[in-house]
Amino acid sequence: MIRGLFGSLSVKLFTFCFISISLLVLLLVAASQHYVSGQFASQQTSYVAHALKRTDYFLNQFMKNLQKDLQFIARDRRLAGLEPDETVQLLEQYRLQWKDIKNLYVFNSDGHVLGTSGALWEIASSENIRSVHLGLTAGDSPVVWTEPYFSPVSDYTVTVAVKIPMAEGESPAILAADLDLESILAAYEDEYLGSKESLLLLSRANRPISVRSPYVKYDVFAKSYSLSGLPADSLQHNVNAWQAEDEQGNPLHISRASSNIWGWQVILILNDSFLAKSLAFMKAFSILIGLAGLVLSIVVSYYLARYMIKPLKQLIPQMKKVSAGDFQTQIDSRRNDEFGILAVAFNRMVVKISQLMDSVVQAEIKKKMYELKVLQTQIQPHFLYNTLNSISYLAKRGRTQEVDTMITNLSSLLHFHLDKVEEFVPFDEELEGVKRYASIMEFRYPGQFILDFEIDEMVRHVPIPKFTLQPLVENAIFHGILPKGDLGSIVVTGERDGERLVLRVSDDGIGIPDNRRSLLLQTKPDGANAGYYHLGLFSIHERLRLYYGEGYGLRIHSVDSGGTTVEIIIPYKEGTQHAA
Alpha-carbon span 366 to 387, nearest angstrom: 33
Checking if the pLDDT of 566 tops 80, the result is: yes
Helical pair 400-414 and 427-444, crossing angle rounded to 10 deg: 140
Q: Which pLDDT score, from 0 to 100, does residue 580 have? A: 45
Range among 136-150, 296-310, 533-547, 551-565 with highest mean pLDDT value = 551-565
Report which of residues 329 and 424 the model is more confident about: 424
Report which of residues 543 and 448 the model is more confident about: 448
- Give me the amino acid identity at 446: P
Q: Report yes or no on whether pTM surpasses 0.95.
A: no
Give the model confidence (pLDDT) of 274-310 as tens digits: 667 777 777 777 788 778 877 877 777 777 777 777 7
Checking if the pLDDT of 506 tops 90, the result is: yes
**CA distances to 42, 52, 53, 66 from 45, in Å:** 5, 10, 12, 31
Checking if the pLDDT of 530 tops 60, the result is: no
113, β-bridge pairs: 107
**Residues 122-150, mean pLDDT to the nearest whole number:** 75
Is residue 200 within 8 A of residue 208, CB to CB? The reply is yes
Alpha-carbon span 236 to 223, nearest angstrom: 24
**What average pLDDT does the structure give for the chain?**
78
Checking if the pLDDT of 507 tops 90, the result is: yes
| Among the ranges given (30-39, 201-210, 567-576), the one the predictor scored with the smallest mean pLDDT | 30-39
Q: Which pLDDT score, from 0 to 100, does residue 376 have? A: 46
Q: Which pLDDT score, from 0 to 100, does residue 561 have? A: 73
- Collapsing DSSP states into helix, strand and coil, what is residue 241? strand
Q: Which pLDDT score, from 0 to 100, does residue 289 have? A: 79
Q: Which pLDDT score, from 0 to 100, does residue 377 have? A: 54
Q: Which pLDDT score, from 0 to 100, does residue 379 have? A: 45
**Residues 125-144, mean pLDDT to the nearest whole number:** 73
Range among 80-84, 111-115, 206-210, 411-415 with highest mean pLDDT value = 206-210
Question: Binning pLDDT at 50, 70 and 90, where does residue 124 land?
Answer: low
Neighbour count for residue 543 (Cβ, 10 Å): 21
Give the model confidence (pLDDT) of 213-236 as tens digits: 888 888 877 778 888 877 666 666
Q: Which pLDDT score, from 0 to 100, does residue 455 have? A: 93
Question: Binning pLDDT at 50, 70 and 90, where does residue 529 land?
Answer: very low
| Among the ranges given (162-166, 490-494, 561-565), the one the predictor scored with the smallest mean pLDDT | 162-166
Q: What are the chain's domains? A: 20-287 (3.30.450.20), 321-356 (no CATH), 379-571 (3.30.565.10)
Report which of residues 142 and 238 the model is more confident about: 142
Buried b (16+ CB within 10 A) or exposed e, 461-484: ebbbbbbbbbbbbbbbbebbbbeb
**CA distances to 14, 134, 571 from 463, in Å:** 52, 112, 10
Range among 78-87, 149-158, 456-465 with highest mean pLDDT value = 456-465
**Residues 514-531, mean pLDDT to the nearest whole number:** 66
Q: What is the DSSP string of 336-392?
A: -SHHHHHHHHHHHHHHHHHHHHHHHHHHHHHHHHHHHHHHHHHS-HHHHHHHHHHHH
**Residues 500-518, mean pLDDT to the nearest whole number:** 88
Question: Binning pLDDT at 50, 70 and 90, where does residue 428 land?
Answer: very high
Checking if the pLDDT of 452 tops 90, the result is: yes
Nearby residues of 326 by Cβ (< 8 Å), 6 or more positions away: none
Q: Which pLDDT score, from 0 to 100, does residue 207 have? A: 85
| Among the ranges given (159-173, 416-430, 458-472, 529-543), the one the predictor scored with the smallest mean pLDDT | 529-543
Checking if the pLDDT of 22 tops 70, the result is: yes
Give the model confidence (pLDDT) of 242-272 as tens digits: 777 777 777 777 888 876 777 788 888 877 7
Question: Binning pLDDT at 50, 70 and 90, where does residue 454 land?
Answer: very high
Q: What's the chain's length in residues? A: 580
Question: Binning pLDDT at 50, 70 and 90, where does residue 203 land?
Answer: confident
Nearest alpha carbon to residue 465 among 409, 520, 542, 380 = 542
**Residues 132-142, mean pLDDT to the nearest whole number:** 73
**CA distances to 44, 357, 414, 452, 496 from 371, in Å:** 83, 22, 17, 28, 26
Q: Which pLDDT score, from 0 to 100, does residue 568 have? A: 95
C-alpha dihedral sign at 310, 312, 318, 324: negative
| Among the ranges given (28-32, 200-204, 524-528), the one the predictor scored with the smallest mean pLDDT | 524-528
Q: What is the DSSP string of 425-452?
A: EEHHHHHHHHHHHHHHHHHHSTTSEEEE
First and final C-alpha spacing in the chain: 49
Alpha-carbon span 488 to 477, nearest angstrom: 9
Question: Binning pLDDT at 50, 70 and 90, where does residue 383 land?
Answer: low
Q: Which pLDDT score, from 0 to 100, does residue 233 have? A: 65
Checking if the pLDDT of 1 tops 50, the result is: no
Checking if the pLDDT of 21 tops 80, the result is: no
Is residue 5 within 8 A of residue 11, CB to CB? The reply is yes
